[in-house]
Structure 1
Amino acid sequence: MTHPPATRTRVGLLALIGALALGNPLSLVAQSTPSAPDDGLNLRFANGIAAVAEGEIITVDDIRREISPMIPELQSTSRNEAEFNRRLEALQDDTIQALVDRVLIVKDFYSDEKRRIPVAYVDNAVDENIINEFEGDRSKFLAYLRARGLTLREYRKEVEEDIIYQYMRGQKRKSATVVSPVKVQQFYEENKEEFYQEDSVHLRLIQFSRKDGRTDSDLLTLAARVQARLDVGHEFEEIAKEVSEDSRRSKGGDWGWLNRSGLKPEFSDPLFELEPGQATNPILLPEGVYILYAQERKYAGIQPIDEVREQIERILISRESRRAQEQWLERLRRNSYVKLY
């Protein structure tokens, strides 16, 4: 069954819930597979209704449309049938709550009479969906509406509600965009161990491989020519672009930041003896000869707060955003009529 293009925001939220439940990110598939196991929804909700929120009915079909793409992955990552059934039911519960919350969020938007979505916004969103989801083929779009038993008016209402949902969630996220320096300092002091860093180096290298029957002597001669150019002040990056035979020649042999533990000893031992701006002597290995260059160094230890301040701010903003959104949703739930079956 195809996901409604108008519910991309809703699907995005539920995909995140599913990904957390499954332990890894999911790629949403547009249709369910015939071999997918029974989701048990018909048995669990015999009357076909899972919840009523502010008079709006959330049906088994609504839930199935959201979770169907996730079930095969859920099944493949479950160790046994009992675990699969437990995780499936949890996913269903999360989905029901998310769909209920969506209804309440839309209601909250309309509680302010001044807030309305311009008709042109909805028109543009519908047109984009037809282009992106139906390859611009209006006949496919109309066939989709018929398959779901929707009128164009009902579809436009879904699109409008998705715009509202995205807007309202975005506004709550924006409400937590400033973190005081005091909170940053406090988080740093309480979580210093999280900011421990290994020895690391910004590595560039030059490699000559054993092609064309090159001997050890041939390789060392090539490396000696590089060293001679370095000794008279040539830039390592420029020499690498000119002569290196490794896969990152065009980038001046740039391999980015690497930890000591991520390198084999033949490389890490001489490399981490260097100061920034120094190069190793030639390292002769079965695959060729290498000259390593430490462009920058970071030494093992707790990173200073100034180096991790932005990282801490992002963590705290994310936490505050989640807290603010959860408080908002709890308020909406308390002040609304919701019945779960």
Structure 2
Amino acid sequence: MGIKPLIKRGIMAVFLTVITFNHSLWAQDNLIEINRVAAKVNNEIVTWGEIDRAMTSLNFTTMEKKDRASEFVDGKVDRLLSIYAFNDKGMAIPDSYIEQEYNKRLIQEFNGDRRLFRDVLRSKGMSQMEYRDSIREQIIYQHMMATRRRLKEDVSPDRVEEFYKKNEYRFRTDQKIRLKEIVFSPIADEPLSVLMQQARKVRGDLAAGEKFEDVARKQGQSPYREDGGDWGVMTSSREIRSQEIREQAFELKEGDVSQPFKVELLERKPDGSVGKSGKLAVYILKADKVENSGIRPLEEVRDEIENLIAEEIEANAQRKWLTNVKADAYVRINLPE
């Protein structure tokens, strides 16, 4: 055997050893990262692996994980604190209740397919026992939060009126309009001048007394042609994508009919965005109904305000309770850089 083959074998052996060593180091580093302590609540440890799995299950990007990691850790800490408070009160959830909830989710979310259920858990790195524990944790947290729930019946009329006066902007309504249209768009590459000529003739017929709806059913290429050009809904300015249509429409008073005007048609692009197509059409609009902007009356929004205030009171009570529980517990949070 020559010297060169021996040298080649030696180099290959060293190369494979380096690869194996580097892979071993990577696996070790990855294991350390997964088991890194993200938080400690009394004797309970929350690892970064748990937090990462929760965010991965929601298809978070690396940047989203970095931005929202603290939110998920805080949520986990709150749930653990709730469990400690639950246990301190001597309360317990029967295993039979957990099993009922387990079977209910198996049927509702997986149509009773246990193999599919196990495959999904395996893809999340979760055992069936861990899944049961997560159910127990969720039930306890919801129960402890519910004890601080406030109903809208607890909100006084004075507080509702005060909220309404301070937050009138939240109940402001935009001006809205219900439109009807006649649209002339090219069928065989007609120039804009031809379309405009057709539209002006129709506008003359309308001025002579023909009903807009009847003309709209016979003329043009509007997608609402069979409905007499009626859009069918009240629309605000911000809901109309076309700048030309938006500007013309909100210049009209109720019952007015516009003069013919050109519009550059919009189209959906391959990336899902909406932009100008380069194609032109000629529009005639009628303002069938106009609702002016204003502020919704108190009686119309009273129920909505009562619910908002009740939710705010409930959230404050929950935060205060969790703060008090946290003060009596050992909590340490250590997020990765």
State the TM-score bracket (shorter-chain normalisation).
0.5 to 0.7
- 1:93 equivalent to 2:70? Answer yes
Pairing 1:52–2:40 present: yes
Structure 1 residues 304, 123: closer, same or farther in 2, change over 3 A? Answer: closer
Instruction: Say if 2:91 is the partner of 1:113.
Output: yes
Question: Alpha-carbon deviations, 1:101-123, whole Å to 9, x = none?
Answer: 11222344453637553531222
Per-residue CA distance 1:291-341 (angstroms, 9 max, x = gap): 222423114x55543455455445433422321221232233234443445
1:158–1:129: structure 2 CA closer, same or farther, 3 Å change rule? farther
- Matched with 1:13 is none
Q: Which runs of 5+ in 1 are unaligned?
A: 1-39, 76-87
Question: Structure 2 counterpart of 1:50, which letter?
Answer: A
Aligned counterpart for 1:291 among listed residues 285, 291, 313: 285
The one-letter code of the counterpart of 2:284 is: Y
Aligned residue number for residue 211 of structure 2: 230
Q: 1:328 to 1:247 in 2, by over 3 A?
A: farther
Greater Rg, structure 1 or structure 2?
A: 2
Aligned to 1:65: 53
Partner of 1:209: 184
By how many angstroms is 1:175 displaced? 2.3
Q: Which amino acid aligns with 2:71?
A: D
Residue 320 of structure 2: aligned partner: 327
Q: Which residue of 1 aligns with 2:19?
A: none
Q: Counterpart of 1:165? A: 141
* Residue 144 of structure 1, CA deviation: 4.4
> 1:62-110 deviations in whole A, cap 9, x for unaligned?
12223454353449xxxxxxxxxxxx3x743333221111122234445
How far the C-alpha of 1:186 sits from its partner, in A, is 0.9
Deviation at 1:162, TM superposition (A): 2.7
TM-score w.r.t. structure 2 length?
0.62
| Amino acid paired to 1:161 | E
Q: Deviations over 1:141-197 (max 9, x none)?
A: 57448x55x3x333322233234434554x368524343321221122223455555
Structure 1 residue matching 2:235: 3-state secondary structure: strand
What's the secondary structure of 1:287's corresponding residue? strand
Count of residue pairs brought into register by the alignment: 274
2:81 is equivalent to residue 104 of structure 1: yes
SS state at 1:70 partner: coil
- Give yes or no for the alignment of 1:175 onto 2:175: no
Q: SS at the partner of 2:234? A: strand
The answer as to whether partners of 1:42 and 1:60 remain within 8 angstroms in 2 is no
Overall identity of the aligned pairs, in %: 18
Query: How has the CA–CA distance of structure 1 residues 271 and 53 changed in structure 2, closer, same or farther, with 3 Å as cutoff?
Result: closer
Find the residue that maps to 1:65 and give its secondary structure. Answer: helix
Alignment partner of 1:125 is 2:115: no
Contact 1:172 1:321 in 2 (8 A): no
Contact 1:240 1:253 in 2 (8 A): no
In the alignment, structure 1 residue 256 sits paired with structure 2 residue 234: yes
The Cα RMSD (Å) is 4.2
Partner of 1:188: 164
The farther-off stretch of 254-263 and 91-100 is 254-263
Q: Please give the TM-score of this superposition, normalised by the length of structure 1.
A: 0.61
Distance 2:252 2:64 in 1: 48
Tell whether the 8 Å contact from 1:53 to 1:337 is kept in structure 2 after alignment.
yes
